[in-house]
Amino acid sequence: MLEFILWIILIYFAFRMFARFILPYLLKYFLKRFQQKFYQQNPHINPNRKEGETNVEFVPENKTKVKTDSDKIGEYIDYEEIENK
């Protein structure tokens, strides 16, 4: 029974040491790998762009609006009917 308790304590401390020292390095490694894959799959996202920097990637063509018959009619006026007594 004493040997069983010692094994449990040993496993507990080994797990604590693993969680404290080795687990953070493993997480950093996997997160860095995931981030690299993400930026390879999405090249339009630029992680090196500085905050506040403006980048225009699309400039729309300057087209003139074609007027239709409804544009020539005029402005719509909403009114209410008044009942005469």
Per DSSP, the residues of 58-75 read ------PPPP-HHHHH--
Q: Is residue 70 part of a domain?
A: no
* Tens-digit pLDDT profile for residues 3-45: 999 999 999 999 999 999 999 999 999 999 999 999 888 877 7
Mean pLDDT score, 37-65: 77
Q: How far apart are CA 85 and CA 75, in angstroms?
A: 31
Q: Does some domain include residue 10?
A: yes
- The count of structural domains within the chain is 1
Q: What is the pTM of this model?
A: 0.45
Range of the domain at 1: 1-37
Specify burial of residue 39 (Cβ count, 10 A radius: 0-12, 13-18, 19+): middle
- Report pLDDT for 13: 95
